[in-house]
Amino acid sequence: MSNIVAIVGRPNVGKSTLYNRLTESRKAIVDDFSGVTRDRHYGQAEWTGKTFTVIDTGGYVHGSDDVFEAAIREQVLIAIEEASIILFMVDVTVGVTDLDDDIAKLLRRSKKPVFVIANKVDHHQLHNEASVFYSLGLGEIYNLSSMTGSGTGELLDEVVKHFDDVQEEENTLPRYAIVGRPNVGKSSLINALIGKDRNIVTPIAGTTRDSIQIHYNQFGHEFMLIDTAGLRKKTKVRENIEFYSVMRSIKALEDADVVILMIDAAEGIESQDINIFHLAEKNKKGIVLLVNKWDLIEKDHKTTKKFEDQIREKTAPFTDYPIVFTSVTEKQRIFKAIEAASKVYESKFKKISTSKLNDVMLPIIENNPPPALKGKYVKIKYITQIAGKSPMFAFFCNLPQYIKDPYKRFIENKLRENFDFEGVPIQIFFRQK
């Protein structure tokens, strides 16, 4: 269901250069919004209309060479388990190294599609050099120059052929994913909800298991919980705990309708949380944010508001989503969290009738028309909601290309004020009529 492409390989072969190339435009947007300076290692990419998540492995680990190599091997195993497609990058200017051979060995055992990429093939003379990589025993070699971009198209044409196109599920129950950094309380929340201890531990190697899904049907709510917490991996390398949790979160997120993002009240919202938040937003998932371990915080009458403001400021411009302050251990507001998720789910799939949309929005637009550009006036004639898995609205007008972002945001805010899309990313299109 999810299309996750992981780039693996030893350091310096050019993984992050390719990653940046594939995620270019989106990365700039995210960084502007969040003000996060830390490197991001995963993001959205698109090729011929197909979107997918790209993960740049390697970036998570720092340390001595020994630690590094162990960590890289482990990341390859995690990628084999969690990603749908693996890009194994090697460096044509260096040839086959021992670590390349090690990685190839792990990949040969995997059943996932693996693409061997000979990178730094910057000019034609180097094409023949890449044939040394056939010795890795992984089949066809794709020549690439991450730096110039040459070869990217040929590679992606093949990669997208492996994507799952069918997203429809037989099961029509709402699907909520509980995601968040290690130790925020995900397992505790699930245990509190389903009322028993699952205590599932699986080693990294060998097992291939999709995210665990739990059927919840109590107190008037029925849904599937997609659990990322249950599989608590015994990673040998501490830094990989984060890598692993990110992989799981991405995967769960792609499978979900609503993402329940948990953060730890004592730690506040951190860059990884914000990255997951934006990934959910870009994937058009509903979002509920839980500030858990609220019991640990000393409070006065302003504390909640202050927390909320700080969080929303960091996720801006998307700020219209529920924040619930929970204490799983004290059983506080757990049910409220579930109700928030259900409400977001309903909003995500609701349909506003065309007549209602026009009755409400046209007068607003009349009072606040789009600013004239080059002496031309934009006339918005009518509005309709487009069918889909998340709310999309088409505004039909004479000069769609003249509508700028600030006006788009104004329109989005008015839609939100009038129709309640709390927790739901919405898309607005201006179309020629």
Q: State the Rg of the chain over Cα.
A: 23
Q: Is 153 annotated as a binding residue?
A: no
> Looking at 182, 203, 317, 406, which residue binds ligand GDP (CB under 6 A)?
182
x/- mask, ligand GDP, residues 205-234, rule CB under 6 A, reads ------------------------x-----
> Looking at 2, 3, 146, 283, which residue binds ligand GDP (CB under 6 A)?
146
By the 8 A CB rule, do 19 and 58 touch? no
C-alpha distances in angstroms, 357 versus 364, 407, 416? 11, 17, 12
> Looking at 126, 132, 147, 241, which residue binds ligand GDP (CB under 6 A)?
147
Q: Is 420 annotated as a binding residue?
A: no
Q: Is 182 annotated as a binding residue?
A: yes
| Residue type at 322 in one-letter notation | P
Is the preceding peptide bond at 317 cis, omega within 30 degrees of 0?
yes
57 binds ligand GDP (CB under 6 A): no
By the 8 A CB rule, do 236 and 153 touch? no
41 binds ligand GDP (CB under 6 A): no
By the 8 A CB rule, do 181 and 272 touch? yes
CA–CA distance, 127 with 269 (Å, rounded to integer): 47
> Looking at 292, 315, 347, 385, which residue binds ligand GDP (CB under 6 A)?
292
15 binds ligand GDP (CB under 6 A): yes
152 binds ligand GDP (CB under 6 A): no
What are residue 214's phi and psi, to 5 degrees? -120, 130
Residues 361-380 interacting with ligand GDP (rule: CB under 6 A): none
> Looking at 2, 3, 188, 385, which residue binds ligand GDP (CB under 6 A)?
188
CB of 10 to ligand GDP, least distance (A): 7
CA–CA distance, 134 with 238 (Å, rounded to integer): 34
Residues 80-109 interacting with ligand GDP (rule: CB under 6 A): none
Nearest to 83 by CA among 136, 183, 159, 172: 159
CA–CA distance, 373 with 161 (Å, rounded to integer): 43
x/- mask, ligand GDP, residues 109-138, rule CB under 6 A, reads ----------xx-x----------------
Neighbours of 117 (CB within 10 A): 27
> Looking at 43, 185, 322, 370, which residue binds ligand GDP (CB under 6 A)?
185
> Looking at 235, 327, 342, 385, which residue binds ligand GDP (CB under 6 A)?
327
How far is residue 378 CA from its own chain's centroid?
35
Nearest to 59 by CA among 23, 93, 32: 23
CB of 93 to ligand GDP, least distance (A): 7
> Looking at 3, 16, 84, 342, which residue binds ligand GDP (CB under 6 A)?
16
Nearest to 292 by CA among 242, 256, 252, 332: 332
| Dihedral sign computed on CA atoms, order 325, 328, 330, 334 | positive
CA–CA distance, 323 with 253 (Å, rounded to integer): 18
> Looking at 186, 285, 314, 343, which residue binds ligand GDP (CB under 6 A)?
186
240 binds ligand GDP (CB under 6 A): no
> Looking at 53, 143, 187, 315, which residue binds ligand GDP (CB under 6 A)?
187
Q: Is 406 annotated as a binding residue?
A: no
- Three-state DSSP class for residue 47: strand
- Closest CB to ligand GDP among residues 41, 348: 41
295 binds ligand GDP (CB under 6 A): yes
Q: Is 234 annotated as a binding residue?
A: no
What are residue 283's phi and psi, to 5 degrees? -85, 5
- Closest CB to ligand GDP among residues 275, 327: 327
- Three-state DSSP class for residue 315: helix
Applying CB under 6 A, the residues found at the interface with ligand GDP are: 9, 11-17, 58, 119-120, 122, 145-147, 180, 182-188, 229, 292-293, 295-296, 327-329
